[in-house]
Amino acid sequence: MDDHRTTQSRVLRLALLINMLSVGTFMMVMPLGADFVKYLNMKPEHIGYIAGGATFASALIGFFLAPYLDRFDRKKALLFFLMTRSLIVIVCGFSTTQNELLFWFVLAGCFAGPISGLTMASVIDITDIKSRGKAIAFVASGFSLAAIIIVPASLELSARLSWQATFFVFGGLGVALALACNVWFPSMVSHLNSAQSQSLSQPPEARHMQDMVTSPVFMIALGMVGISMFGHFLLVPNLSIFFQFNLEFPREQISVLYLLGGVASIFAMRLCGQLLDRGWIVPTIWGTSLLVATVTFVGFLWQGTWPLYVVFTLFMASSSARSASVSAITSRVPKPHQRAAFMLYQGTLSNVAAGLASAVSSVYLTSGVDGRLAGIETLAMITIGCTLLVPLLVKVLMAQYAQREQLSAHAT
């Protein structure tokens, strides 16, 4: 029992570090946008192409590889994807043009989806049902830690050394993490034996999947996730550029913004978790959505009304809390034997929506000689519309839940 707990603890901590580094490496290119504009002659409105391209690549490659990942030892597959992605991130630092950086970073994004899927599958494999929720929440906190640690660190490295140094350092840390996984991550092959036994009995998984993806609750839930992510990523890739060129916020203080936003996100998610555990799911979604809409309105349409530190901190905190609320309610959609597939579909749609929004913002926005973005106000209004649509979809989804429960009770 002690050996199992030790192994479980190692897997969870390594998974947290993998998630934090993977998310952080993706997040850092957005606040570094102004540096790419300065040193690579990149147009400010093209920053969204980098984030959007990597997100699309992660979603599509991860989705198509998903049926094959379970055929291998999870440790070996994770080592391959983590090591390869880390080496490509290092190569990004040798880019001399925006097109080179775009190509290599999107290629690195191709390996991010499988890394995420293998990491979460390993966490599920190593934990029992009773402790699985806390384990997944622990690993998911890597997102906030990335905003607190990696984004500010990347900005400081770029300011004090060079933008290339950020890719060299965090790519190198990825290589070191892969080596650590080779030593401390256990071999995981139990799913291979399970797959062999299932292939002999031939259970009706296809019918179960068809039942899920054609159900109203599935389509509404994923629609809610897609709309939420689309609205969010219309603005996120352009925040650093907007702050520096439109609002004339000092470059050297951007890292402080992300640090405060990350810390606020952790506290907001903890508070949100307590409210959700008390059953206040719908009120929490309404409250966080209204706060996101209000902060977006003040920060982008009434520019300068509130201090930027307040606007950005509230934007990060409310967005994180809203995402946690959405995840809580959509987690009720799949049945136990459908959870892995549902998480895959939800993750893929989230990435596609985020990538699409990033691309749309890059196409729509324009910049002047001084780098100021034109059109950000229109994107902010669309974001507000998407944000307020989410609670309305929750109401519809709850009605579908109630109808499904009645049918299940009647069937039994």
User: Is the dihedral angle over the CA atoms 172, 175, 180, 181 positive or is it negative?
Assistant: positive
Q: Is residue 130 located within the same domain as residue 213?
A: no
- What pLDDT is recorded for position 8? 78
Block means of pLDDT (10 residues each) for the chain, 412 residues, are 73 87 83 80 74 76 69 82 93 88 88 79 71 64 75 85 91 93 79 49 50 76 89 84 85 82 80 73 87 92 86 88 77 62 71 80 80 87 94 85 70 58
The last residue of a domain, from among 176, 200, 224: 200
| CATH number of residue 409's parent domain | 1.20.1250.20
Structure token digits, residue 125 = 């494999």
- What pLDDT is recorded for position 173? 94
The last residue of a domain, from among 172, 200, 228: 200
Q: How many Å apart are CA 171 and CA 85, to the nearest integer?
A: 8
84 in Cβ contact with 111 (< 8 Å): yes
Strand partners, 373: 367
Q: Is residue 208 located within the same domain as residue 196?
A: no
Q: Is residue 307 located within the same domain as residue 402?
A: yes
Torsion angle defined by CA atoms of residues 285, 286, 290 and 291, in that order, rounded to the nearest 10 degrees: -50
Q: Is residue 190 located within the same domain as residue 230?
A: no
Q: Is residue 368 located within the same domain as residue 229?
A: yes
DSSP state, 278?
T
φ and ψ at residue 375, rounded to 5 degrees:
110, 0
Name 82's Cβ contacts closer than 8 Å, sequence gap at least 6.
18, 111, 115, 174, 177, 178, 181
Name 206's Cβ contacts closer than 8 Å, sequence gap at least 6.
none
- What pLDDT is recorded for position 2? 57
Name 341's Cβ contacts closer than 8 Å, sequence gap at least 6.
209, 212, 334
Per the structure, the count of domains in the chain is 2
Q: Is residue 90 located within the same domain as residue 209?
A: no
Q: Is 389 helix (H, G, I), strand (E, B) or coil?
A: helix
Q: Residue length, the chain?
A: 412
Q: Is residue 210 located within the same domain as residue 340?
A: yes
Q: Is residue 276 located within the same domain as residue 407?
A: yes
Structural domain boundaries enclosing 310: 204-412
- What pLDDT is recorded for position 198? 47
The last residue of a domain, from among 200, 231, 260: 200
Q: Give CA separation, 341 vs 213, 335, 338, 368, in Å.
A: 10, 10, 6, 45
- Rg of the chain in Å (alpha carbons): 21
Closest CA to 35 of 23, 24, 44, 48: 44
Name 207's Cβ contacts closer than 8 Å, sequence gap at least 6.
none
- What are the DSSP E strand ranges found in 57-124? none
Q: How many Å apart are CA 80 and CA 282, to the nearest integer?
A: 41
- What pLDDT is recorded for position 90? 94
250 in Cβ contact with 60 (< 8 Å): no
Q: How many Å apart are CA 7 and CA 335, to the nearest integer?
A: 28
42: region left, alpha or beta (phi > 0 left; psi from -120 to 50 alpha): beta
Q: Is residue 191 located within the same domain as residue 209?
A: no
DSSP state, 305?
S
Tokens 């609320």, located at residue: 325
Q: Is residue 256 located within the same domain as residue 358?
A: yes
Q: Is residue 79 located within the same domain as residue 167?
A: yes
Q: Is residue 191 located within the same domain as residue 229?
A: no
